[in-house]
Chain A
Amino acid sequence: MGRTLKLSGQAIALALVAGLLGLLVWKLTHQSHPPTIGGPAPAFSLKRIDGGGTVDLASLRGKPVVLNFWASWCVPCKSEAAALEAAYRRYRSQGVVFLGIDYHDVTGDARTFLSRHGVTYTTLQDGSGMVGDRYGLTGVPETYFVDRRGRLVGFHIEGPITDSKLAAEFEQGVEAALSS
């Protein structure tokens, strides 16, 4: 009886340790790593902020895409909003798709922001920040470029594109997405 109890206790302890180790391994293997330029753009499907359904990145295969992560509470995002809208108007005739991804934001605030800054390109909601985390965001605004084959190209811009250096990188990024 005592021996059986002892063995059962040891088996339970071993099972618990094995379970915890399993959790650790799962966590380590499922950790999100920032994507690399040249590699595939992490997939996502997000709701449009205007309530008009969802957008799946995979459905845009064949088109160059500019992904801009932003939030209404982010001060630099306000400064780059007009520049992004102007770029969208400039490049949309060449088939470039602009997607704004509203990161960790109150939806009402985001809608007010879009209206106030006259943003007309599609904006998606990433309230939980899951997609932003998948892209390895360290803050907002950040911009990525996706080519027709669904690969990240050009630069990963961390900061507002109104900055002169980042503005040049933005133009090169769009061109890279267009040309590859």
Chain B
Amino acid sequence: MIVRLAAALVAALALAAPAAAACTHPRTSLSYLEGQIMCPTCHTTLDQSDSPAALRIEAEISKRIAQCWTAQQIEAELVQNFGAGILAAPPRKGFDLLAWWLPIAGVVLGAALLGLGVWRWSRGRDGPAPPPEESGLDAESERRLDEALARFE
């Protein structure tokens, strides 16, 4: 009996030790990666798709997570398999960096233009009153207009 218990204990330790030692970093999760990876046939992220291709990719991700692969390793393998289009967001390097910086540059430029416009508008309001505009009528016409207007008063 004692021998059996000892054998079971040794077997349990032998099985548990590699599993515990295999993962030296926090495991990534399927739910996280489902939001980062696209379904190639339906062009939505995996978490919004039940297509057969999406389900197979999820199964592959689950397998890699069980093998303690990091999110970066899993993404790299999927990019190698499906191309960069499998990623929901473009990589933050090379030409793809433009996709990250252009919207920020657009917002900054827009804010700057808006600020400039507001500044010019406020300066225009505070400045000296513009001189009265010329009516464009000669003296005789102005006199006749004044007479006509006087009849209405």
Question: Which residue numbers of A lie inside 8 Å of B, CB to CB?
Answer: 2, 5, 9, 71-75, 104-109, 127-130
A105/B56 in contact, CB under 8 A: yes
One of A9, A106, A128 near B56 (C-beta < 8 A): A106
- A74→B53 CA distance, assembly (Å): 8
Q: What's the Cα separation between A9 and B114 when bound, in Å? A: 12
B35: interface (CB < 8 Å): no
Of all chain B residues, the one with the shortest Cβ separation from A109 is: B56
Is B60's CB under 8 angstroms from A108's CB? Answer: yes
CA distance A75 to B81 in the complex (A): 21
**29 pairs across A/B with beta carbons < 8 Å?**
A2-B120, A5-B116, A9-B113, A71-B52, A71-B53, A72-B56, A73-B52, A73-B53, A73-B55, A74-B52, A104-B41, A104-B82, A105-B56, A106-B56, A106-B60, A106-B81, A107-B81, A109-B56, A127-B40, A127-B82, A127-B83, A128-B40, A128-B82, A128-B83, A128-B85, A129-B40, A129-B41, A129-B82, A130-B83
Q: A72-B56, A73-B53 are in contact. Are A104 and B40 (CB under 8 A)?
A: yes
Shortest Cβ distance from residue B112 to the other chain A in the assembled complex, whole angstroms: 11
Please, how many angstroms separate the alpha-carbon atoms of A9 and B52 in the complex? 51
A2 to B56, CA, bound (A): 61
- CB-CB under 8 A from A129, the residues of chain B are 40-41, 82
Produce 1/0 per residue, B58-86, CB < 8 A to A. 00100000000000000000000111010
Complex CA distance for A73 and B56, rounded to whole angstroms:
7
Please tell me if B57 contacts chain A, counting CB pairs below 8 Å. Answer: yes
A51 to B84 CA separation, bound complex (whole angstroms): 20
- Within the complex, the shortest CB–CB distance from B134 to chain A, in Å, comes to 23
Question: B60 contacts A104, CB within 8 Å?
Answer: no
Q: Which residues of B contact A74 (CB under 8 A)?
A: 52
Kindly list chain A residues whose C-beta atoms are within 8 Å of the C-beta of B83. 127-128, 130
In whole Å, how far is B83's beta carbon from the nearest beta carbon of chain A? 3
Least CB separation from B40: chain A residue: A104
Q: Which residues of A sit under 8 angstroms from B85, Cβ to Cβ?
A: 128
Instruction: Provide the bound-state CA to CA distance between A100 and B113, in Å.
Output: 56
Task: For the complex of A and B, list the 7 residue pairs with the smallest distance between their C-beta atoms, beginning with the closest.
Answer: A128-B83, A73-B52, A104-B40, A127-B82, A73-B56, A127-B81, A106-B60
